[in-house]
Chain A
Amino acid sequence: MSATDGTPVLQAQALGRVLPGQVPTILVSDVDAVFAPGSFTVITGPSGSGKSSLLYLLGLLDRPTTGELLLAGQPTGALSDEARAGLRLWHFGFVFQFHFLLPEFTVADNVMLPMREAGRLTAGQMRARARALLGALDMPDLETKRPDQLSGGERQRTAIARALANDPAVVLADEPTGALDTRNGRAVFTILRALARQGRTVITVTHDEALAAMADRRIALLDGRVVADGAASSFLRSAG
């Protein structure tokens, strides 16, 4: 999964997803894209353009109906559901619009959940890692709080800490700032950009033009197709 050999972490080849039915719905169509380590990409587009659908395909949450997704150069189409779950656990971190924390668990326990499932660290190491992650996200004193005792921004940062629990190569976020105010939204994007600077592949969906401008690269979707793909700074305010 490392970038040293020059293999892109994630590569979409003519990726498509059609929902079967009386009138088949095209969610994503013919997406070709390469995501390099250390890059911070935003996916933009009007509501219903297939941003979330593409993100689910890139994160092995959904299976493409056409095309192939390569992970570190390896095709993933033929993998079983459990093998895909294993890959998600070890190599992907997800952040959703809603934080999706387990309400019965403390902040620290939520962050440790992927580590416990992976079972690679001792209890002490897990606790230390959760504390370090939360500290780095500027919420060191909240370990023993429950999600309902946190502010929206704190919840989202906890979700980011959980996404980073197993030190994933890819971080995927679907409108992580949707439920946050401008200041907190900006803070979350600053964190995502920093994660990319650490060498991770970061891809996030957003509606917010100002935040989109913080990314390196921007992919604009319309009706499930890529209509523009380039440096985020080159996009006009009116585009995509």
Chain B
Amino acid sequence: MIPLALDIAFAHLRGRKRQTAVSVLGVMLGVGIYIAISGMMQGFHTYFLRQLVESNPHVLITDEVRVPAAQPLQMLHPDAAVAVRRVLPRDPVRGIAAAGSIVPALDRMPGVTAAPMLSGQLILRRSGRDYAVSALGIDPARQGKVTSLAQDMVAGSLAALARETSGIVLGRSLAAKMGVGIGDSVAAVAAGGRESTLRVVGLYFTGLEEQDLLRVYVNLVRQQSMQARPRVVNQIGIRLADISRSIPFAARIEGRFGYKTAPWEETYRRFLDVLALQNWIIYSTLGAILLVAGFGIFNIISTVVLEKGRDIAIMRSIGVASRRIVHIFILEGAVVGLLGMVAGWALGRLLSLALGRVPAPGAADPTQTLMIAQSWWIYGSAGALALLAAVSASSLPARRAARIDPLAVIRGAT
């Protein structure tokens, strides 16, 4: 036999089928929209972050020193209360001096791939127009293992860059803007003032507009000579087999070699902050939708409490505990919440499948569709929020029901 409170709860809901259905519908919409929207949001974030993180090194060593070296006065009196103010770390403008030994050392670590780079500004000149870009001098073979550049190529290849010492790889959007294609040549001027001619050997596309427009790749040796910094490397990109290790790994590397070593979390902090803010906005909106669903439940339970005042009084008078009365109405809310949750899961799944067929705007591959994240976490949190809303919405009228004075009702009826 089912518990008394549940039996009565079902009886009450059966007696108000239409209103119950509307409340369930409210919860269902809340849960369904929650699942679809947060799935879309998370899918979008994941896609974006993956593009960003994979088309760049997971960890980047640059030629900066963040911690100033110990000052002679402090070294002389290590235990004294010496305070030296306004100490700035010396800027080693000449790049990562020990790159020649750091890269092989990194290579020897398991699950670590490293690539040396020299970054520097270039002005590309074409048809009388100038385009300021940030050029990365790379070792094409190594770079292909450290970032997704090889996979991001939409024309030409990294291998072609390796063969052509004066080759250049442009973002597809920049190439379109400049009106150049594979095999065309462009003039390049570095800050040093030396002009040289480069030949377009490849086009890439990451979908990250800023990167596609502003970053070009040339051979490391070529970049070193254009920038007049022979044998200099000012960045070392690192790819980790396990990306989740990036923060402790970067800290260890910085401690060992002294150069600023930033995990991707640090490099894209601002971007991650924006994503977090977006999440916050989205989840508050979704929470508000479930709150509205909660109002629906509050409404039906309050109505039932009003309507069943006489029944509540008679149950109390024959000795039914007030706690049981509370259970009855909280169960009614929970049943509505539960039904809405299950229906909402189905709706959320359907909406997600439908959204998953929508072509992704601005994708390299036109057959690519929106990425919709689906996880236990999304379904679970949507369901938990719905149940929470349902139970809290019904607990208020439930308490009111338990406080009904049976005598007042019985006196009034006779």
Contact = CB atoms under 8 A, between A and B. Distances in A.
B319 A117 contact: yes
Interface string B1-41: 10010011001101100000000000000000000000000
Nearest to B11: A104
B256 interface: no
Given A62-B407, A102-B8, A104-B12, A96 B319 contact: no
B321 A82 contact: yes
Which DSSP category, helix, strand, loop or mixed, fits chain B's interface? helix
B4 A87 contact: no
Given A94-B318, A96-B410, A117-B321, A102 B311 contact: yes
B116 interface: no
Contact of A88 (B310, B311, B318, B414): B318
Contacts of B319: 85-90, 92, 114, 117
B322 to A, nearest CB: 7
Interface string A58-90: 000110000000000000000001100111111
Interface in A139-175: 162-163, 174-175
Nearest to A100: B314
Contacts of A56: 407, 410
Interface residues of B, number: 27
Contacts, number: 79
Given A61-B406, A62-B407, A89 B318 contact: yes
B320 to A, nearest CB: 5
Main secondary structure of the interface of A (DSSP, over half): helix
Q: How large is the interface on A (under 10, 10 to 19, 20 to 34, 35 or more residues)?
A: 20 to 34
A13 interface: no
Contacts of A105: 11
A113 interface: yes
A116 interface: yes
B322 A102 contact: no
A191 interface: no
A7 interface: no
B306 to A, nearest CB: 15
B414 A175 contact: yes
B411 interface: yes
Given A61-B410, A123-B1, A175-B414, A113 B318 contact: yes
B222 interface: no
B4 A116 contact: yes
A119 B315 CA distance: 15
A184 interface: no
A105 B1 CA distance: 14
A85 B414 contact: no
Interface in B197-233: none
B320 A89 contact: yes
A98 interface: yes
Given A61-B317, A82-B321, A86-B319, A52 B414 contact: yes
A61 B1 contact: no
B324 interface: yes
B227 to A, nearest CB: 85
B257 to A, nearest CB: 72
B310 A100 contact: yes
B317 A88 contact: yes
A104 B320 contact: no
Contacts of A62: 407
Contacts of A88: 317-319
Contact of A82 (B14, B322, B411): B322
Contacts of B315: 102, 113
B414 A97 contact: yes
Contact of A52 (B15, B311, B314, B411): B411
A117 B11 contact: no
Given A100-B310, A102-B8, A81 B410 contact: no
B84 interface: no
Nearest to A91: B319
A10 to B, nearest CB: 16
Contact of B413 (A98, A102, A123): A98
B316 interface: yes
Given A87-B319, A113-B4, 7 more contacts: A56-B410, A61-B407, A85-B321, A90-B319, A97-B413, A100-B311, A117-B321
30 contacts: A61-B407, A81-B322, A82-B323, A85-B320, A85-B321, A86-B319, A88-B318, A89-B319, A94-B317, A94-B318, A96-B314, A96-B413, A98-B413, A98-B414, A102-B314, A102-B315, A104-B11, A109-B7, A113-B315, A113-B318, A114-B318, A116-B1, A116-B7, A117-B318, A117-B324, A123-B1, A126-B1, A163-B318, A174-B414, A175-B414
Query: What 5 A-B pairs come out closest when comparing CB atoms?
Result: A89-B319, A104-B11, A88-B319, A123-B1, A100-B314
